[in-house]
Structure 1
Amino acid sequence: MSLRSRFALAFAAVGAAVAVTVGALSYLAASDSVFAEVDRTLRSTTVALTRGMEKREEQTPAGTADTADTARRSPAGQNPAGQNPAPFPGLDLPAPGGEAAPQPVLQAVARDGTPIRLSGPLERLPVSDTARALAASGRAGESDTTEIDAGGHSYRLLTTALGESRGALQVAVQVDQTRDVLAGMARQIAAVSLAVMLVAAAAGRLLAGRVTRRLARLAEVAEEVSTDGRVTHDASEPVGGRDEVGRLSASFSRMLGRMVAAREAQERLVHDAAHELRTPLTSLLANATVLHRVTELSPDSRDRLLDDVQNETRELGHLVDELVELALAGRRGETEEPVDLAEVARRAARRVYRRTGRLVHVDADDSVVRGSSPGLERAVGNLLENAAKFDADGGEPIEVHIRQGAITVRDRGPGIAAEDSGRVFDRFYRADSARGLPGSGLGLAIVHDVAAAHGGSVSAGTRPGGGAAVGFTVSRSRLLPASRPRTKTATAD
């Protein structure tokens, strides 16, 4: 079953449950109210009948008869069956056939359980065991209410004990119309509940269609990616919306965008790496071919050949190391922590000094940033090694300038041409002036990735007075409150 259908069924179920609950409560409340009114009518009629019997007893000489005997000899009791009885004395009852409600049925029950018809359209009312018990031994005012079927109609029957073994009185009213009204109300409630359920289902399906349409689009994109691993431009566009589905879509689109960028970078890296590896491998293959005739070479030629093989192998190993470094950039999961940029620069300067013997002058403020200490140290180290490679004379120390998260390395080399300044951070890019120098063209690309990982940017230009000024920045949002503009200098040696 589709998610849209499930939404529609859920809305229909909730709507039906609410409608049925409200309808049932309304029906019960109406039923209780109507029958409470009927019961009040029965009680008031019973009270009036009791008072009328008490007045009749007051007119009868004491000790001549009990209430049941009086009822037997009353005009109502003496009238033959089928005739219209006279109302009980003292009780004002509507006449049969009047425009008022149907005439109530009045009946007395002797203490031995004998029914005595008093008034009403029925010849007699059924006397239950409960009614006999009330007539025989019930306390005065004790009553029982029930519903009966008699004469083809439904009646609400109230039996009230007179007390002192004087019997009981029964009053019944016809409730057919009341039942019909309540049945009609029940049918209306059922119809309304069904209508609410259908409207809720339609609304649920409409709303689910709007929600699931976007989810279906995301599902199509996910299936496309899982099938061939490729994402089209349109597939990575957000489907819109500010709700949870819209947020999911936006996050999903950003994730796909990063996947696309990562795949393109991976393909570009593989292509460039294959191109760069081809040159040293070709040279090594040629040298290996010459080594087959090593006995025919002069000692000087053998030495040059072995030096060439050694240099090519070293360069190949360095290239592989940088490729691995570049491929793993951003995937190491390095923990971010407060990093003192001046201390990072000093550590990188000491390492470069040990490798190249070049002095490095560090001019830094108290910039402390939130970032990866190993990554930032690799970036500064690559800048210093690049400067040491191009400034081979070593007449002056290499300078590291740090201000508010911006790191710049300056040298006195040949500088960077204007047409090269925008491309020196590309992978494997080698300026014409650098093609005769060792290196793979990946060092500054690693600097670019580290800067991007810290929300910064890279820059390359010419130093005033000659040389190059190459550096990167860390996002100012990563500067910690411990950072101060105070300057401190040091020379690594």
Structure 2
Amino acid sequence: MRRRSLRSRLILLVTVAVALAIAACAALSWFIVENQLIRQLDQSILEPEGKGDQKFLLEHCTSDGSPDYHDMATLLRADGSTCSLGSPIVPTEEDRGACEGSGGEPIFRNGVTRDGEAVRVVTLNFGPGVAVLEARPLYHIRITLRNTAILLAAVAAVGVLGAAIAGLLIARTALRPVGRLTKAVEHIAKTEDLDTRIPVTGDDEIARLSSSFNAMTTALAGSRERQKQLVADAGHELRTPLTTLRTNIDLLLRSEQTGRSLDPQAKERLLVNVKAQFAELTTLVADLLQLARGDTDHEPHVELPFHEVVTAAVERARLRGAEVVTELSPWYVVGGAASLERAVLNLIDNAAKFSPGGEVEVRLDGGRLTVRDHGPGLPEEELPHVFERFWRSPSARGLPGSGLGLAIVAQAVAEAGGEVRLANAPGGGAIATIRLPGTLMRRSETDKSV
């Protein structure tokens, strides 16, 4: 069974709700009218009678009634005998009880005459052992109630029709932004055009949904643009070592194919160059794989001693020839040990590259890690770009590197919930600062002490 559209369901809901409300109001109105008419009829029956009326009733009533009278009255005696003017009223046990009392409250009920006509009956005590039953026909009231019911039904039908039309208009107006959103989603699905935007008006739920949709498409467009840029930059960066590799290998092959052997030293230089290019390619591919990971595609985050991670990175940097002095205090963070160690190592390698022969100072205190070099520093206009992928300072074009090291640092620190910045240090050189949320003691040790 095909499910109804949101618009048809909204129209149906409004129509049913209004129809139920109109039906309830119509039924209530009908009962109020009926009650009012019956009350008016009872009051007309209870109009005070003069002694002449009572005498006339006693003198002219008969056991079979007299059909010449429109109004109906029946005297009921304690022995069950009756005497009537007009069509005789059929008494009930309740009416017989009125014969025994004197005065008392009148008895109101619906009844019938001996001819089967429906009437409204009021029973009063007439005297000792006698009760009088007065009645009026219900025919006119029933006609009025029937006409009222027809009128209310017509009004209800018009109301339901109006509710359906109003529901249609309300649905069209209320769902127009949803329709625009649907068309935008279908357009994006068909054309992959992430520049599509939905106009946002007001501050209701639809407006918030439109704003969220625009934010989502903006984020997706930015992500796709970054992916395109990454692929383009990667292709550009890979082209240089691959071209060099191909050139060197072509020289080696040509020397072998032509029988003109290269000078041993030249051949060694070519092979060393090929090895260096392979190493550069390996590093570049590893960096690209590191950056290509999604925000959720990272190693499991656990609580770890960040000072030990920094120590491990410093030892690796020293093996590469860097002179590093450290001043570390304990700090425990939640993150990935491998990615954080890689980030710290990249900062140390970067500092060592720009201060050849100089010391790299690494300090960790209260969750603030600083890595300082004593090189020339950076121009202020270049500082905002240092963490961009493949960005390299013009002064560093001749130095080894792919321009991805600091981008990897920024990604690793962000995954651990921290922040990183690079600035020129007082007295010369540059200083990189990482701030990571954490504690001085392991949480397990803190819980035990508590």
Q: Give TM-score, length-normalised by structure 2.
A: 0.75
Shift of 1:321: 0.7
**Counterpart in the other structure of 2:97:** 140
**Counterpart in the other structure of 2:430:** 468
The residue type paired with residue 218 of structure 1 is L
The SS at the match of 2:216 is helix
Q: Does 1:384 align with 2:348?
A: yes
The SS at the match of 2:135 is strand
**Counterpart in the other structure of 2:62:** 77
User: For 1:261-340, what aligned pairs fall within 5 Å after superposition?
Assistant: 261-295=222-256, 296-332=261-297
The SS at the match of 2:431 is strand
Task: Tell me, in whole angstroms, the C-alpha distance in 1 between the residues paired with 2:110 and 2:211.
Answer: 68
Q: 1:98-123 CA distances to partner (integer Å, 9 max, x unpaired)?
A: xxxxx531346899999x66213xxx
Task: Tell me, in whole angstroms, the C-alpha distance in 2 between the residues paired with 1:360 and 1:376.
Answer: 18
User: For 1:418-433, what aligned pairs fall within 5 Å after superposition?
Assistant: 418=380, 420-433=382-395
**Counterpart in the other structure of 2:16:** 13
Sort the Cα spacing of 1:238 and 1:319 in 2 relative to 1 into closer, same or farther, 3 A: farther
**Counterpart in the other structure of 1:175:** 138
Q: Does 1:25 align with 2:25?
A: no
**Counterpart in the other structure of 2:73:** 106
CA contact (8 A) 1:409 1:469 kept: yes
The residue type paired with residue 406 of structure 2 is L
- Name the count of aligned residue pairs: 423
Shift of 1:409: 1.9
The SS at the match of 1:358 is coil
Sort the Cα spacing of 1:154 and 1:75 in 2 relative to 1 into closer, same or farther, 3 A: closer
Sort the Cα spacing of 1:406 and 1:217 in 2 relative to 1 into closer, same or farther, 3 A: farther
Task: Tell me, in whole angstroms, the C-alpha distance in 1 between the residues paired with 2:67 and 2:201.
Answer: 84
**Counterpart in the other structure of 2:447:** none
Of the two, which has the highest radius of gyration?
1
CA contact (8 A) 2:303 2:335 kept: yes
Q: Does 1:219 align with 2:176?
A: no
User: For 1:125-274, what aligned pairs fall within 5 Å after superposition?
Assistant: 125=88, 140-141=97-98, 145-146=109-110, 155-156=119-120, 171-232=134-195, 235-236=196-197, 239-274=200-235
Task: Tell me, in whole angstroms, the C-alpha distance in 1 between the residues paired with 2:75 and 2:381.
Answer: 121
**Counterpart in the other structure of 2:324:** 360
The SS at the match of 1:292 is helix
Task: Report % sequence identity.
Answer: 34
The SS at the match of 1:215 is helix
Task: Tell me, in whole angstroms, the C-alpha distance in 1 between the residues paired with 2:367 and 2:59.
Answer: 116
Q: Does 1:416 align with 2:378?
A: yes
The SS at the match of 1:106 is strand
Task: Tell me, in whole angstroms, the C-alpha distance in 2 between the residues paired with 1:204 and 1:35.
Answer: 39
Task: Tell me, in whole angstroms, the C-alpha distance in 2 between the residues paired with 1:482 and 1:203.
Answer: 66
The residue type paired with residue 463 of structure 1 is A
CA contact (8 A) 2:123 2:132 kept: yes
CA contact (8 A) 2:96 2:131 kept: no
CA contact (8 A) 1:144 1:160 kept: no
Sort the Cα spacing of 1:200 and 1:403 in 2 relative to 1 into closer, same or farther, 3 A: farther
Task: Tell me, in whole angstroms, the C-alpha distance in 2 between the residues paired with 1:78 and 1:438.
Answer: 131
Q: 1:174-216 CA distances to partner (integer Å, 9 max, x unpaired)?
A: 2233224433443453354345435544544444334312212
Moved more, 304-313 or 291-300: 291-300
Q: 1:255-299 CA distances to partner (integer Å, 9 max, x unpaired)?
A: 221101100100111111111111111122222322323542233
**Counterpart in the other structure of 1:351:** 316
The residue type paired with residue 7 of structure 2 is R
The residue type paired with residue 397 of structure 2 is R
The SS at the match of 2:61 is helix
Task: Tell me, in whole angstroms, the C-alpha distance in 2 between the residues paired with 1:418 and 1:81.
Answer: 121
Higher RCO (CA < 8 A, seq sep 6+): 1
Task: Tell me, in whole angstroms, the C-alpha distance in 2 between the residues paired with 1:79 and 1:431.
Answer: 125
Alignment gaps of 5+ in structure 2: 100-106, 442-450
Sort the Cα spacing of 1:194 and 1:75 in 2 relative to 1 into closer, same or farther, 3 A: closer
Shift of 1:12: 1.7
Task: Tell me, in whole angstroms, the C-alpha distance in 2 between the residues paired with 1:290 and 1:367.
Answer: 54
Sort the Cα spacing of 1:472 and 1:228 in 2 relative to 1 into closer, same or farther, 3 A: farther
CA contact (8 A) 1:107 1:170 kept: yes
CA contact (8 A) 1:383 1:471 kept: no
2:6 counterpart (3, 6, 9):
3
Shift of 1:426: 2.3
